[in-house]
Amino acid sequence: MFKLLKKQKGLTLIEVIVSLLLITIVLTAFISVFINANGQITRAENDFTALQLAEKALIEGKCGQETVDINDQEYVIKVIQKMVEEKAILKVTVSTGKEGDEPLEELYGISQLEGEGSRCK
């Protein structure tokens, strides 16, 4: 009777459980990598958009604060002018609309003043 049982081909319950466990571990690792990559992509998109908004605000030279809504994300643009030795230094910060958030981007621009002594329009 034992010879008959040993000749049967197939998987034991322990082999099935171990293989399912290994598959679960591998799939969990892959899923966590994809979730992390998705978060990194979202942060990179937000940073790139913030950089573009900051560059645009620096070129336009409009002082003050403005809120822009792009791709269901609210960005707050602040432009501040400081005078240093007859030059206007514009500081542009772009952050999300959430209170207390660190700025996503911070740009500085220096330009020679023309006319009235202020670059801000």
Q: What is the mean pLDDT of residues 12-29?
A: 94
Cα dist from 35 to 27, 74, 86, whole Å = 12, 23, 50
Instruction: List the one residue out of 105, 83, 108 whose CA is nearest residue 96.
Output: 105
The CATH number of the domain covering residues in 12-112: 3.30.1300.30
- pLDDT of 41 strictly over 90: yes
What is the pLDDT, as a whole number, of residue 106? 81
What is the pLDDT, as a whole number, of residue 6? 63
Supply φ then ψ for residue 68, to 5 degrees: -125, 140
pTM (predicted TM-score): 0.64
Q: What is the mean pLDDT of residues 82-98?
A: 74
Cα atoms found within 13 Å of the Cα of residue 72, Cβ hemisphere only: 1
Q: What is the mean pLDDT of residues 57-79?
A: 83
Sequence-ordered list of residues with C-beta below 8 angstroms from that of 112, at least 6 positions apart, any chain = 86, 87
Where exactly are the structural domains of the chain? 12-112
Of residues 16 and 60, the one with the higher pLDDT is 16
Look up tokens 């269901």; give the residue. 72
